[in-house]
Amino acid sequence: MKQFKLPDLGEGLQEAEIVEWFVREGDQVEVDQLMVSVETAKAIVEVPSPMAGLITRCFGRPGDMLHVGEPLVGFEGESEDHGTVVGNLGSASGNGGLAAEDFHIGASPSTRDFQPVRAAPAVRVLANQLGVELARLKGTGPENLITERDVREAAAGDGTDNGTPLRSVRRTMAKNMARAHAEVAAVMIVEDADLHRWAGGARDPMVRLARAIARACVAEPALNVGFDGKRLSVQPHSHVDLGVAVDTPDGLFVPVLRNVAERDPDDLREGLARLRRDVANRSIPPGELMGATITLSNFGTLFGRYASPVVVPPQVAIIGAGVIRDGVVAWQGQPTVHPILPISLTFDHRAATGGEASRFLKVLVEDLEAPD
């Protein structure tokens, strides 16, 4: 099968959505006969056939998003390379599942954030030859220009000088955190929840935290939204999907507990247990790691009081919960000892105001402090 791959239909566009097919598998087409209309970020365009022939495969259905370079149409005949357009499928997989290392925590990073690297043409050819990815290098030349030496050193291996490259979950974590840190206008507020009304001295607060966050989201929806910093637009969410940060030796996972506002405590407890089990077994499906509307980072099982957890766009808020401790508090005019749960809230000040965050935190803490 000869494959026609989706070309760049605009100027530097990365993807297009299939709108409508004008041909079907088994159809005979002429050169320049219209085959399919696709919508890019800029336009709806009709894509003609680059050749005359029999169509054996239409890749994707209306609504499917294809990246530039992915197969669009298969034609009958031996696979042969017609330059960049009609060629072998190679390693680009059109419809394979997500590889375990390729999922993203939070929003998928935009390809438009790509920064060009600075390197002379000969250095680029060398890097290509040695299989060195220039984007990973930090240039040592003037204004961070990548030099031939940089490339050779990188190619010389994961040697002692250059450290060990991050892989997999840690690599994803590093990229997402750096991007979030660069983009978000983070503001933190903290407060303690006094848990002395809780029955039986229970110290697993996850279900209560989930409920308190859900109620705070209902009372102050401004922190349960998606924010697009490029278009400066806000997308309110009708439900609360809570990302739960889970620490593992491999790095950070944030599986999503769906629709927490509508679920009863037993259901939540079971959902949490399943998330933890799945993460421990590394059997969590990629879909379960996407689409959180707000995130909880509970480091109370570890160590520490307050934190400034990082908000990952398009989310605008993350709640940190520290270790429950016995603290001396003023109670009815007297010093007394109560169990105290320290709460930290980081929010993106581009999307929410301090007042909104403060009201959110108040509802959250008051719900935590309630007897049940």
Which residues lie near another protein (CB under 8 A)?
Answer: 4-11, 31-32, 42-50, 83-85, 120-122, 124-126, 128-129, 148
Judged by beta carbon, residue 134 or residue 216, the one nearer another protein is: 134
User: What is the closest distance, in whole angstroms, from the C-beta atom of residue 83 to another protein in the complex?
Assistant: 8
Judged by beta carbon, residue 31 or residue 185, the one nearer another protein is: 31
Please name the residue that has the structure tokens 């705070």. Answer: 216
Q: How far from chain centre, in Å, is Cα 325?
A: 33
User: What is the closest distance, in whole angstroms, from the C-beta atom of residue 22 to another protein in the complex?
Assistant: 13
User: What is the closest distance, in whole angstroms, from the C-beta atom of residue 11 to another protein in the complex?
Assistant: 5
Judged by beta carbon, residue 46 or residue 267, the one nearer another protein is: 46
Given phi > 0 = left and psi -120 to 50 = alpha, else beta, which region is 20?
A: beta
Give the end-to-end CA distance of the chain in Å, rounded to a whole number. Answer: 64
Judged by beta carbon, residue 125 or residue 166, the one nearer another protein is: 125
Please name the residue that has the structure tokens 């409508």. Answer: 20
Judged by beta carbon, residue 54 or residue 120, the one nearer another protein is: 120
Judged by beta carbon, residue 8 or residue 191, the one nearer another protein is: 8
User: What is the closest distance, in whole angstroms, from the C-beta atom of residue 33 to another protein in the complex?
Assistant: 10
Residue 64 CA: distances (Å) to CA of 2, 68, 70, 331, 348: 21, 13, 12, 60, 32
Judged by beta carbon, residue 84 or residue 248, the one nearer another protein is: 84
In sequence order, the β-bridge partners of residue 87 are 3
User: What is the closest distance, in whole angstroms, from the C-beta atom of residue 4 to another protein in the complex?
Assistant: 7
CA dihedral defined by 319, 325, 329, 334, rounded to 10 degrees?
Answer: 150
User: What is the closest distance, in whole angstroms, from the C-beta atom of residue 57 to another protein in the complex?
Assistant: 17
How far is the C-alpha of 29 from the C-alpha of 55, rounded, in Å? Answer: 7
Judged by beta carbon, residue 88 or residue 308, the one nearer another protein is: 88
User: What is the closest distance, in whole angstroms, from the C-beta atom of residue 31 to another protein in the complex?
Assistant: 8
How far is the C-alpha of 319 from the C-alpha of 361, rounded, in Å? Answer: 9
Judged by beta carbon, residue 120 or residue 280, the one nearer another protein is: 120
Judged by beta carbon, residue 9 or residue 321, the one nearer another protein is: 9
- Burial track 283-306 (b if 16+ CB lie within 10 A, e otherwise): ebeeebbbebbbbbbbbbeeeebe
User: What is the closest distance, in whole angstroms, from the C-beta atom of residue 67 to another protein in the complex?
Assistant: 13
Strand duo 225-228 + 233-236: pairing: antiparallel
User: What is the closest distance, in whole angstroms, from the C-beta atom of residue 248 to another protein in the complex?
Assistant: 41
Residues 6+ apart with CB under 8 A from 106: 176, 180, 243, 254, 290, 292, 312, 313, 314, 315
User: What is the closest distance, in whole angstroms, from the C-beta atom of residue 125 to another protein in the complex?
Assistant: 4
